[in-house]
Amino acid sequence: MTGKFYDVIIMGAGPAGLQAAIHAARRKASVLVIGQSKKSSAYNAHIENFCCTATQSGAEMLEIGIAKAEESGAEFLDTEVMALNADNGHYTVETARGEALKAYALIFAMGISRNKLNLAGEKDLVGRGVSYCVDCDGPLFKKEPVAVVGCGSAAAGAALTMLFYANEVHLVCEKLDMDSFLAEKIRESGVVVHEGRKITQIKGDDAVSGLVLDDGEELAVTGVFIELGAKGAIDFAARLGILLDDTMKYIAVNKKQETNLTGIYAAGDICGPPWQVAKSVGEGCVAGIEAAAYAIKRKQEGR
């Protein structure tokens, strides 16, 4: 496979990459998807708010997506991208397995890695009280007591949203760091703010039963929403000279999902919040169509 030339190489096998692959391949572009669906944020998720699949299992949804992309003609490589280079108007993608593959167009669909509290038990309780997404899991905590952890606007928004569902909302934060309008709104709302506090323990064996703060206070909550932001796979992007958005955390794209570099597109969580399947597949669709059109034009021009 080394040296093989594709019209479009898609980096990421989550919802954004799979939808991009389906649309690009159906436009008769040769398409390679590099990535591991097991590493998609959606893989272990229980997805209730996406309009268009019968299943709520993220793993099953991805399996369906891979089958559709393969039926459409896309090829898959179950590995990681290690390096990217621009040469003479095309791009070379080096993988962890040592392949060096070329393409006219690239789509960045590598998702994000959510920042963790890194407390004992946090990982094991994900989906059993610990969540990184109020839009996804908020409705599961109707009339339950919950805590949101974080100091920024996302944490404030999450806490205000949870007031619609939960019967008690705590916001645990070392120092509120959000615009004054939002800080005022939080103070006027029914959210109980624990400013200057840190969480030292998440309690619970099979499901979250409470939190311990650094002054020893215990909060009897059944849900903990961790809103500490996320890291994008932006190192590769930055090394190639791709511009980031104003937050300097996500890839900046226009309405065609184009980055500032010709032939490079991005879609999904890597372009910023809301981190949702619906947004990822929408952006993936646009990126796939645009990347295929660009690559096919380049090929026809013989460049």
Ligand X SMILES: Cc1cc2nc3c(=O)[nH]c(=O)nc-3n(C[C@H](O)[C@H](O)[C@H](O)COP(=O)(O)OP(=O)(O)OC[C@H]3O[C@@H](n4cnc5c(N)ncnc54)[C@H](O)[C@@H]3O)c2cc1C
| Footprint of ligand X (CB under 6 A) | 11-17, 34-37, 39-42, 45, 47-50, 80-81, 109-111, 126, 132-133, 136, 233, 268-270, 275-278, 280
Length of the chain: 303
Task: State the minimum distance, in angstroms, from the CB of residue 130 to ligand X.
Answer: 9
Task: State the minimum distance, in angstroms, from the CB of residue 5 to ligand X.
Answer: 19
CA dist., res. 265 & res. 242, Å (int): 10
- Of 6 and 275, which CB lies nearer to ligand X in the complex structure? 275
Task: State the minimum distance, in angstroms, from the CB of residue 144 to ligand X.
Answer: 17
- Of 62 and 171, which CB lies nearer to ligand X in the complex structure? 62
Task: State the minimum distance, in angstroms, from the CB of residue 78 to ligand X.
Answer: 9
- Of 266 and 296, which CB lies nearer to ligand X in the complex structure? 266
- Of 93 and 213, which CB lies nearer to ligand X in the complex structure? 93
- Of 186 and 275, which CB lies nearer to ligand X in the complex structure? 275
- Of 50 and 91, which CB lies nearer to ligand X in the complex structure? 50
